[in-house]
Structures are given as C-alpha cells and as structure tokens.
Amino acid sequence: MRQEPWSSRTFTFVCLALAVVAFSTPAHAQSNAHVAVGVGVSKRVFTDGDFHQNAKPVLLYRIRKHRQPHNGWRFRVPEFGFNWFGANVTTPVGGQGTDIGHLTIRPLLAGVAEALVLNEGKDELSINLLAGPAFSRFKMSGQARDVLSRSARR
C-alpha cells in the first residue's frame, strides 16, 4: 500500500527534527577530531515510482587518520564509505497495486575525495568518487505471495 506523501508520522517526524535543529546548541567537543559522531535525517528519492522510503533518523560518523586544521583544499586517498539503506517495493501484480516486499542494499565503497576545509578544520565540504560491491537482499511480503499464488492458479 502506498502512503500519502505527508502522512501523520512523517509530519510528526519533520516537526520533531525542526524543533531539534531550532533549539540545539553548537557542539564544539568533536571539532577537528579523529572520530566524530552525530545524527541526521535521511530520505531517499527513487526515479522509479515503485520504490519508496519514508524519512528516518540516521547515525553519522567520521573516522580520520590525520586531523586537517588548516583552511584550503585537501586531496584524500584512500576514502572509504559504508552505507545501509532499503526501500519498500510496490508494483501492479495480478491487476492490483501490491506491496511486493522490501529491498535492502549494503554497499562497501572505496575511492578518492577532494575536500575544502574551512574555519580551521571545523567545517568541510567534500566531493567523493567511490565505487565498490553492493550486497543486496529482497524479502517478499506475504501479500505478494498470496497474489502471485492466486495469479498462478488462473
């Protein structure tokens, strides 16, 4: 089943995220650190309308071998990335729109990065070129199994 673009759960989550941003204070404890963690909000938009994902909280992390406290451009190699995301898949099956399952993707990436360091290492804007394998899993929903078994009997 497709949810409306602004369901009550999504609206509540967006309001909560805005309140956290509006009333939070700057955290200076992890500036220019080797290891840093934080939280964010993730919403993936797919080009195919059969895939959809709600906005959700995510854990952000950064692990660096060297600190980069000076302003300017920095070339970093190697650069690594690990991600974990998924999408619910809905498509017409047997003439009716059906939630057919959930696709989970776990890419392991490596490559290079070019970073612009600002404010003595407190802010950074980076452009990454990463590639690597992805491990995927598709779990079919019970509703899809029922519709497919009814279609096969016809």
When pLDDT is cut at 50, 70 and 90, the band that residue 116 belongs to is: confident
Q: Is 106 inside a domain boundary?
A: yes
Asked if 51 contacts 88 with a C-beta cutoff of 8 angstroms, the reply is yes
The amino acid sitting at 143 is Q
Q: Which residues contact 125 (CB under 8 A, 6 or more apart)?
A: 115, 116, 118
Among 12-21, 22-31, 39-48, 144-153, which is the least confidently predicted range? 22-31
Q: Is 120 inside a domain boundary?
A: yes
- Please count the structural domains in the chain: 1
Q: What is the pLDDT of residue 1?
A: 45
When pLDDT is cut at 50, 70 and 90, the band that residue 126 belongs to is: confident
Res. 80: pLDDT tops 80: yes
Domain enclosing residue 46, as ranges: 8-153
When pLDDT is cut at 50, 70 and 90, the band that residue 25 belongs to is: low
Alpha-carbon gap, residue 134 to 82, rounded angstroms: 10
How confident is the prediction for the chain on average, in pLDDT?
Answer: 77
Q: Is 111 inside a domain boundary?
A: yes
Q: Is 36 inside a domain boundary?
A: yes
Higher pLDDT, 105 or 120: 105
Q: For 99-111, what is the mean pLDDT? A: 90
pTM > 0.75: yes or no: no
